[in-house]
Amino acid sequence: MIDSDSNNRPARPHIVIVGAGFGGLACARELGRSDCAVTVVDRRNHNLFQPLLYQVATAALSPADIAEPIRKTLGRYRNIHVVMAEVTGVDAATHALLLNDGERLPYDALVIATGSDYNYFGHDEWRALAPGLKTIHEARLIRQRLLLAFERAERSDDSLERRALLTTVVIGGGPTGVELAGAVRELGHHTIKRDFRSLSVEDHRVLLVEAGNRILTAFPDHLQRYAHDYLQAIGVEIRLNARVEDVDRDGVTVNGETLRAGCVVWGAGVKASPAASWFGIAPGPGGRLPVDDRLRVHGVEDVYAIGDTALALDSKGRPLPALAQVAKQQGEYLGRALKLTFQGREPETFSFRNRGNTAVIGRNAAIFDFGRWTLKGRLAWFLWALVHVYLLINFEKRLLVTIQWISRYVTRQRGARLIDENLSP
């Protein structure tokens, strides 16, 4: 442990990174084997490839396929120290990070990469009933509820109860909601048809609820229409202009209509972590920390923010989207910039390069938006798979996921359909 006494700071510059997601890890790796001492702080002991988390929730992959201990990921870098702890605040005046065990961690530069959480728009009591999809625990909880609903429906003699148990409501028509809705529909269709003797595929329903008048609004119109038509073709019911008014143990109320459901999932908007409250500054839209073109937090010395936590603007003054590629590019840039800064050199400003936006809709169906040109269908799906395998943390994960995908594509079986009797539904 690095000495927490500010009078005993190491001779090398000490950089503290809070958060080991895409941005935090990219920054740490860039600083690996540098002349800086680096400490990575995260409340969990693992990093997670969130774009494939929905596949854990739908039993296509296991948690270990997309997660890895942070210490293993960064173990090769002898100048990097990992601390598993909860951050409670920052003493910006003395350059110290405050941890939940009372420790004060001194820093010469502080990087905030704490990501985002789902926004329940003032109804946090809905979280337990309609979990989001940001953590392994949430993915396992959704999987548990889906599989338990199938089992309970199999034993029910009440047709209305059986139909309710076999109904899943996904709230939010963004990429997460669309990907999850398509995957749940495929899971239910093939699992019920193959493995459940008392259930009918016709009773399985997936409802995608969106408050706006379109799904996937970040994509061009023709890709939105393609996704909409594909989901409807595989049996997903799409409710547009649908406002969620209540969530309870029996389901959700939408525009005055009660929809009974065995599982409800939330994906209707995100907000940044509460990092702005650590500095007593006014956050930007979505609770994000305003940063300049070198990712420095406005009004706070030696503090930087990247990823979903940061409100960074592009060359036209528009906020950069909360995407993994943005966080990764910012992390890589900031790692290089900090090395230059501590060498007494001025780094260039950050410039985001858009490498395309993508979403998978279902088997052999995905969309890609590269700006000047777009792609949809089987080729887009194949490209989506290649990109996501490539972006996994290491070769071991790439191999594991590739094998699982090939097996699932050929057999249509999902090998991670495990119910944990110790996990409360």
Can 161 be counted among the known catalytic residues? Answer: no
- Spot the catalytic one: 30, 68, 138, 179: 179
Tokens 């910012």 belong to 330
Cα(346)–Cα(354) distance, integer angstroms: 25
User: What is the arrangement of strands in the sheet containing 374-377, beginning at the earlier edge strand?
Assistant: 357-362, 365-369, 374-377
How many Cβ atoms sit within 10 Å of the Cβ of residue 213? 9
Strands (E), 227-323: 236-239, 244-248, 251-254, 257-260, 263-266, 270-272, 289-290, 303-305, 310-311
CB 294 within 8 A of CB 346: no
Chain centroid to Cα 304, Å, comes to 21
Q: Name 272's bridge partners.
A: 116
Alpha helices in 156-301 (DSSP H): 159-165, 175-195, 221-233, 276-279
Write out the H or E segment, with its range, that includes residue 22.
Answer: helix 22-31
Distances, alpha carbon 308 to alpha carbons 55, 116, 254, 312, in Å: 22, 6, 29, 9
User: Which are the catalytic amino acids?
Assistant: 179
